[in-house]
Structure 1
Amino acid sequence: MNHARALIQAVAVAAVLWTTLPTHAQVALRAEVAKPLQAAQELIKSGNPSGALAQAAAARNIANLSELERATVERVAATAALHAKDNASAIEALGYLSVDASVPAAERLTFQEILIGLQRAQGDLAGLTRTTRLYLDQGGRKAGTRALYLQALSAQKRHADIVDYLKPLLADDRNVTLSEPEATALAVAQQSLGNNAGYYDALKRLVISAPANKDYWRELLAQLREQPAFDPRHELDVVRLMAHRQLLSGAEAHVQHAQLALKAGYPLEAARALDAGEAARAFVSAADRLTLDKLRQTVQNKVAEDAAQIKALEAATSAPQRAELAEILHSKGDHAAAVPLYRQALQGTGLRREDELRLHLVVSLALSGRPQEAREALASIKPGSTARELGGLWTTPN
């Protein structure tokens, strides 16, 4: 909330306060309390909120105020302060009303909301932290308040408090989705605490909240490679996901993709990787063009060599052969044709690296516009495996 929005909200709440001020009879004010408060109300009506605030302060100093008298004094003080744009005085009065048990719960939440806006405008991080937490704990549901609480903690480097607050929420079976600011605060906290596993998990939540952010994806995939259970056999799968998310830039990245595809036996994919690099104008220098020409010749030779093998696989019926053909179609981007072949193969026997095949089925389903089937297929991959991690990332909504 910027200062202008805080002021608009303050004026709105001042109007609410004004219309809900109790009368003398309603709260049985003593005459010595009622007199300055009545004077304050008249001064507000006449456009002198500063004078009204002085009258409210005088009433506050009267000895032995009852609970209801004090609440009435603070309502008048808050109204006058908001009209006078005296944030410090408004914060003082609203701070009392926000926690006073004599104030109805719904009104306390309203007072807390405006207090949060004022504390944010004042840069009062400690006060903002207290009030946002109070608001959340008392059932406040205004959008963005939880993020504001976490951001206030983060600004004070209270990283452990962020993790502790979110831990029970994220452990809940409701699969809570964090907003981008919330996930950012969690990621910063986990990284600052040196919790690599927690940082990786927070990055996964970040790409769910902001799937178009390429920086989040780059960091997430870099961290995936650093996970203790990462299987380096899946390096090509990581690069494929990077290509899909348009994270590859520069000649080196496209050459690496092509070389990994060639090494895995997929020259058609290598050709696509080089084409993508050319389309992105990645091969600019003379050295880059020379590398491209040499690699493209190698790729073309391999494509020609594999043509007969592909034709033979199209007529084959065993599960391993169905799987091999599915992998080739997957590598060339023909995902709709690869899906039935993967499913046929996975019903058979004699397969190697079955989780890898199941991952590629998930990817082909996702890329052929069948996200629900992709999520269902994901459940068949071994939990905790690199294949399962990558499959989960491929099924992240765009």
Structure 2
Amino acid sequence: MRSHFTRTLIAAVLMAGATLAHAADKQTVRPEVGKPLQEAQTLIQQKSYKDALGKIDEAEKVGSLTPYESYIVDRMRAAAATGANDINTALKAYEESLASPQMPAAEKVQTLDVMAKLAYAGKNYAKAVDAIEKYREAGGNSPQTLELLPQAYYLTGKYGEAGKELSVLLAQKEKAGQTPSETQFQLLASCALKQNDMAGYASALEKLVSYYPKPSYWLDLIARTAGSKGFSDRWSLDLYRLRYATGTLESAGDYMEAAQLALQAGFPGEADQYVKAGYAKNALGQGSDAARHKRLKDLIDKKIAEDKATLAEGEKAAAKQAAGDALVNTGLNYVGYQQYDKGLPLMTQGIAKGSLKAADAAQLHLGYAYLEAGKKEEAAKALRAVQSSDGGTAVARLWLIKAR
């Protein structure tokens, strides 16, 4: 970055040097000022920046500088100081040159651009914020520069301003079909956390799992959903289904709890998936609890044998009931065995029959079943229809994100 700044400034100095040599009467530089400045220009070209600063100081000490002479001194000092990595001196020289009426209007945007990046690189974030805001007001539109603004705000401790700027920036990127960086979403999440804005943090996590679906982001989002106000325990199995789908079942306890909940709900085929996955990941069958894991596995095997022997009979009984709950559950049970061609029609029939004790759960489970069958469009339609006051809608929202 420093070399880029230096090249930019040297170009400006060369232009100033040409003016020194061919100045019109109204823009003259006295010989006693011009001589050390010409020497400074040569030293800058030779990358002898500290020596150049000495020559620029020599020119300034002549005294009684005209506005034009002061402007040339400031521009050359900015270039030499940048080359010498004396950022504070460079920034001060830039500020002086920007305040001068001698600066052409056409150069102000570029000058503010370089100043903003220089201030940011020098960790003078307050000056970076000021320069970027002035750059934008002057019509500057370089994404590389404007994207520094929320970061500079954040690093000055202005988390609210950083979050607002970042939200606008990310919305513009998404509207333009661009993918914001993972770092930008992480910064948005951090802005929310710094302000104790849990809703904003969850929203940022949703963006992260949408674009960068890492297990750590999913686990955080699912955990915060489960811990949100008014979230009911009746959705516990649904959260484990989501964790299984997002690869966030980790410990033996996770696999055991998921399998036990599925078994208690009457879905031994689904429970078997979790146990098999746990064994495949070496989370189960190891350590002092290996015998307990084996007992659960044996129980599930037994329940599967019993269940398969009565599935057809249970399906007929469910069809005779006035309410659709039994059909929905029977269909979901088939889905646990990956028999989607049988399960999905039963679930839709059950929902159509009505008189459901938990219509929100039935709708959510239909969406989940469609996803399991690889039918994303049908799943999205079902999930968008979930209306729940105790967490079901939030779970459906997470499945919708997963389905994208």
Taking structure 2 as the reference length, the TM-score comes to 0.78
Q: Does residue 297 in structure 1 map to residue 292 in structure 2?
A: no
Per the TM alignment, residue 342 of structure 1 is displaced from its structure 2 partner at its CA by 4.1
Asked whether the equivalents of residues 382 and 388 of structure 1 are also in contact (C-alpha less than 8 Å), the reply is yes
What is the one-letter code of the residue matched to 1:81? A
Per the TM alignment, residue 243 of structure 1 is displaced from its structure 2 partner at its CA by 1.6
Q: Structure 1 residues 323, 381: CA separation in 2 closer, same or farther (over 3 Å shift)?
A: same
What is the one-letter code of the residue matched to 2:384? A
Supply the distance in 2 between the matched residues of 1:269 and 1:190 (Cα, whole angstroms): 37
Q: Structure 1 residues 337, 136: CA separation in 2 closer, same or farther (over 3 Å shift)?
A: farther
1:362-382 per-position Cα deviation (integer Å, ceiling 9, x unaligned): 334444444455444433222
Supply the distance in 1 between the matched residues of 2:112 and 2:331 (Cα, whole angstroms): 59
Supply the distance in 2 between the matched residues of 1:390 and 1:280 (Cα, whole angstroms): 26
Per the TM alignment, residue 221 of structure 1 is displaced from its structure 2 partner at its CA by 1.6
Per the TM alignment, residue 204 of structure 1 is displaced from its structure 2 partner at its CA by 2.3
1:217-261 per-position Cα deviation (integer Å, ceiling 9, x unaligned): 222222111211312211111111112222122211111111111
What is the one-letter code of the residue matched to 1:390? V
Q: Structure 1 residues 115, 233: CA separation in 2 closer, same or farther (over 3 Å shift)?
A: same
Identity rate, percent:
26
Q: Does residue 351 in structure 1 map to residue 367 in structure 2?
A: no
Structural mapping, 1:110-149, within 5 Å: 110-135=110-135, 138-143=139-144, 145-146=146-147, 148-149=148-149
1:329-386 per-position Cα deviation (integer Å, ceiling 9, x unaligned): 3334555765555445444423332222332333344444444554444332227762
Secondary structure at the aligned position of 2:398 is classed as helix
Q: Does residue 181 in structure 1 map to residue 177 in structure 2?
A: no
Per the TM alignment, residue 288 of structure 1 is displaced from its structure 2 partner at its CA by 1.7
Asked whether the equivalents of residues 99 and 108 of structure 1 are also in contact (C-alpha less than 8 Å), the reply is no
Asked whether the equivalents of residues 275 and 297 of structure 2 are also in contact (C-alpha less than 8 Å), the reply is yes
**CA-based RMSD:** 3.9
Partner residue, 2:233 = 232
Secondary structure at the aligned position of 1:395 is classed as helix
What is the one-letter code of the residue matched to 1:9? H
Name the larger-Rg structure.
2
Partner residue, 2:76 = 76
Per the TM alignment, residue 145 of structure 1 is displaced from its structure 2 partner at its CA by 4.9
Taking structure 1 as the reference length, the TM-score comes to 0.79
Partner residue, 1:242 = 243
Q: Does residue 23 in structure 1 map to residue 25 in structure 2?
A: no
Q: Structure 1 residues 103, 260: CA separation in 2 closer, same or farther (over 3 Å shift)?
A: farther
What is the one-letter code of the residue matched to 1:279? A
1:17-41 per-position Cα deviation (integer Å, ceiling 9, x unaligned): 3565473548942323656544433
Asked whether the equivalents of residues 154 and 191 of structure 2 are also in contact (C-alpha less than 8 Å), the reply is yes
Per the TM alignment, residue 277 of structure 1 is displaced from its structure 2 partner at its CA by 0.6
Structural mapping, 1:249-328, within 5 Å: 249-312=250-313, 319-328=324-333
Structural mapping, 1:372-383, within 5 Å: 372-382=377-387
1:19-65 per-position Cα deviation (integer Å, ceiling 9, x unaligned): 65473548942323656544433443455443433444456675475
Partner residue, 1:386 = 391
- Runs of at least 5 residues in structure 1 that lack an aligned partner in the other structure: 1-5
- Runs of at least 5 residues in structure 2 that lack an aligned partner in the other structure: none
Secondary structure at the aligned position of 1:23 is classed as helix
Secondary structure at the aligned position of 2:284 is classed as coil
Partner residue, 2:224 = 223
Partner residue, 2:4 = 9
Supply the distance in 1 between the matched residues of 2:366 and 2:100 (Cα, whole angstroms): 59
Supply the distance in 1 between the matched residues of 2:344 and 2:262 (Cα, whole angstroms): 20
Q: How many positions carry a matched residue from both structures?
A: 390
Supply the distance in 1 between the matched residues of 2:350 and 2:99 (Cα, whole angstroms): 65
Structure 1 stretches of at least 4 aligned residues deviating more than 6 Å after TM superposition: 98-102, 167-172, 174-177
